[in-house]
A and B are shown apart, each in its own frame.
Chain A
Amino acid sequence: MGLIEEVITIELPVGESFRIQRCRYAPKKEEGIKRISIVSGIHGDELEGQYVCFLLGQWLRSNPDKIRGIIDIYPAINSLGIDSITRSIPFYDVDLNRIFPGSKNDFLPAQIADGVVNVMRGSDFAIDIHSSNVFLREIPQVRIAKSQEEILVPLANLLNIDFVWVHDAVTVLESTFAHAMNTIGTKTLVVEMGVGMRLGKAYGHQLLDGLLNLMAHEGILDIEPLDVRMPIQSHVGEVAYLNAACPGLFVPAIEHCQVIEKGSVVGHIVSALSGEVMDEVIAPIGGMLFTIRAYPIVYEGSLLGRIFGKTNGDSQ
């Protein structure tokens, strides 16, 4: 059984405390062993990670003799947000994942970020589990900044995910938890899967296998590595974005995670008022529809989907 601790506690004004809790699983001898932090709920409307934390905790409770390293589970970083369907830090309305590494001398959300980094400082690995947001549904994927490609892609390939997306470095992403942790030497992967405010059991089990496999490879668990899937690598193709050409109600024509041909109909944007079809959303390239819009109301520019396909744009 893991040791449950409050690692960050801050008094709230009226008879309550903000808290971040951790469940730690460790072998009897803690010296010279590796440490991994499993992190979820930096965004309060993303719940897939909560289920993964449960599954991992359940596995560890059943297999205490297999534990060879320290496994810290943090299911709810933005605990106020998770319990109130609020993405940002309530009261301040600030996205926690845009203020890392935080500061002791800045406003409260920045102090929380600073506290989170310090609590996890010294971990060899961190897995930051996100669920996209309420607007988009994603297949299990890891996103890595190009500057971290060499170090992190081999680790991501162990996670039993479907897609590894290496993207160009964006300065604003230097304010994320993952960047802050990678900067201080903790190899940190960002997992995106599912959709906000919902829970997908299959994805949860898929990532559990990946976590067990990663920990087996790194000697944190004394088990045989699992037979996991090799993710598609973004460098072998291109990502095409589907943005709404007009406002309306987006009605998808195909299911998520389908392989589609160039020119196929992804969905329609319709007018609930006039009964007209305002636009037909056509796939600009062939490939795998790895992102699809889950929330139907759209404005011009709203992201409807992403397709990963061959670089020359040919259909698969």
Chain B
Amino acid sequence: MKRFDIVCLESPNRSPLRIEGFLFGEENTKGPSIAIVGAMSGDHINQLYVASGLVEYLRIKEEEGKISGRILVIPAVNAYALNMGEKNWPLDKTDLNMMFPGYAQGETTQRIASRLFGELKGYDYGIILEGRRDQGMCIPYVKLIQSGYEDLECVKDLGMGFVHYRPHEPVETAMLQYNWQLWETKAFSIVFGKNGSIDQNDTDQVHTAIVRFLSKRDILDFHVFEGHKSNILDPNRIIIVKASRAGIFISKVRCGTAIKKGEVIGVIMDALSGKKLEKMLSPCEGIVTCQYAHPLIFQNSIAFRIASVELCCQIDTKREEK
């Protein structure tokens, strides 16, 4: 294992920002290469935990002679934010994952992104461990955006239950996944958990999925059990349940729960009077993929996202008919 600084940036008063990389495998190996990027935001604690856990796991596997490719793990990109409970770059609040591919002559976070991206270019595969952009939590899933260079087949080797495969949004053109794909790395994100926390089940699932991927792609010489056959989802297969009222939100289900149509999945109470304002019923049969994770909910907030069995069947049937 080689531990090294990818970025070392001096600060006016703090100790320098260091983005550290952990490199495994022989330098001249002919095996495939992969880079895994952990916490880019200061609230991506699940992601930090998975990445640092991988470093320790791979250290042991390297000692056992099991690494057949080349693996770079970067547990924390934004240590400055992690160390002070911030989400973004602490001075100007810019999101490091909105700065790619970076600009070497640009502003601070553009420079950080540029140096980081310089190190990440050229890998065969790229995994980004992502948290959520909203106040939600979700089951671990693969997010693969369509850039024209994405590889849907390879992500199935993770053996994860759901792959969210969709066109990219304009803001995503400044994100790592999109730019990494453009530079011909088979890049994708694994999104999971609730920001600011560690969920042992979710992080175990993601760890296992990554190890499975490394094994199936001949980067790790180690047998693993098969995972799920991945369901490919797009926004048309997801049903959204919104909060019609604001107040205290009590969820009655967990992410990943299979639910029936009409089942009570949540309750909203008036935060002052305690009166029950809304009983939230599932509009369909399916799996809860994501839910609001804060106990106080705004009116119209998305409380649940449900992968609908019926919608998936309808879309797949139409496709087969064509």
Which of B12, B93, B135: most chain A CB closer than 10 A?
B12
Known contacts being A15-B272, A105-B240, is A88 close to B91, with CB within 8 Å? no
Whether the pair A300, B111 counts as a contact (CB closer than 8 A) is yes
Report B76-100 CB contacts with A as 1/0, cut-off 8 Å.
Answer: 0000000000011001110000100
Cα distance A106–B135 in the bound complex, in angstroms:
12
For B111, list chain A residues within 8 Å (CB).
Answer: 300-301
Report A1-32 CB contacts with B as 1/0, cut-off 8 Å.
Answer: 00000000011111100100000000000000
Interface residues on A, range: 35 or more
Whether the pair B107, A301 counts as a contact (CB closer than 8 A) is yes
Closest to A107 in B: B134
Judged by a CB distance under 8 angstroms, whether B321 is at the interface is: no
Whether the pair A108, B10 counts as a contact (CB closer than 8 A) is no
Q: Which of A47-55, A68-76, A216-224, A240-248 touches B?
A: A240-248
Whether the pair A11, B246 counts as a contact (CB closer than 8 A) is yes
Whether the pair A88, B93 counts as a contact (CB closer than 8 A) is yes
Whether the pair A297, B9 counts as a contact (CB closer than 8 A) is no
A77 → B minimal CB distance (Å): 16
Cα distance A31–B135 in the bound complex, in angstroms:
44
Judged by a CB distance under 8 angstroms, whether A93 is at the interface is: yes
Judged by a CB distance under 8 angstroms, whether B322 is at the interface is: no
Whether the pair B169, A175 counts as a contact (CB closer than 8 A) is yes
Cα distance A94–B132 in the bound complex, in angstroms:
12
Judged by a CB distance under 8 angstroms, whether A215 is at the interface is: no
Number of residue pairs spanning A and B whose beta carbons lie under 8 angstroms apart: 106
A173 → B minimal CB distance (Å): 8
Whether the pair B300, A111 counts as a contact (CB closer than 8 A) is yes
- Chain B at the A interface: SS class: loop
Partner of B12, one of A10, A111, A249, A301: A249
Whether the pair A247, B11 counts as a contact (CB closer than 8 A) is yes
B315 → A minimal CB distance (Å): 17
Cα distance A111–B242 in the bound complex, in angstroms:
11
Cα distance A16–B135 in the bound complex, in angstroms:
19
Cα distance A303–B94 in the bound complex, in angstroms:
13
Judged by a CB distance under 8 angstroms, whether B231 is at the interface is: no
Whether the pair B299, A302 counts as a contact (CB closer than 8 A) is no
A28 → B minimal CB distance (Å): 36
Judged by a CB distance under 8 angstroms, whether B66 is at the interface is: no
Partner of A172, one of B12, B170, B297: B170
Whether the pair A298, B12 counts as a contact (CB closer than 8 A) is yes
B308 → A minimal CB distance (Å): 14
For B299, list chain A residues within 8 Å (CB).
Answer: 10-12
Partner of A299, one of B91, B170, B246, B247: B91
Cα distance A246–B134 in the bound complex, in angstroms:
35
Whether the pair A135, B98 counts as a contact (CB closer than 8 A) is no
For B174, list chain A residues within 8 Å (CB).
Answer: 171-172
Closest to B111 in A: A301
Partner of A14, one of B12, B134, B235, B271: B271
For B136, list chain A residues within 8 Å (CB).
Answer: 107
Judged by a CB distance under 8 angstroms, whether B105 is at the interface is: yes
Identify 6 new A-B residue pairs, CB closer than 8 A, beyond the known A91-B135, A300-B9. Answer: A15-B271, A99-B171, A247-B10, A247-B11, A299-B11, A301-B108
Complex A-B: 25 CB contacts under 8 Å: A10-B300, A11-B246, A13-B296, A14-B272, A15-B271, A87-B93, A91-B135, A92-B135, A93-B87, A93-B88, A108-B134, A108-B298, A108-B300, A171-B173, A172-B170, A175-B170, A243-B107, A272-B13, A298-B12, A299-B9, A299-B12, A299-B91, A300-B111, A301-B108, A302-B92
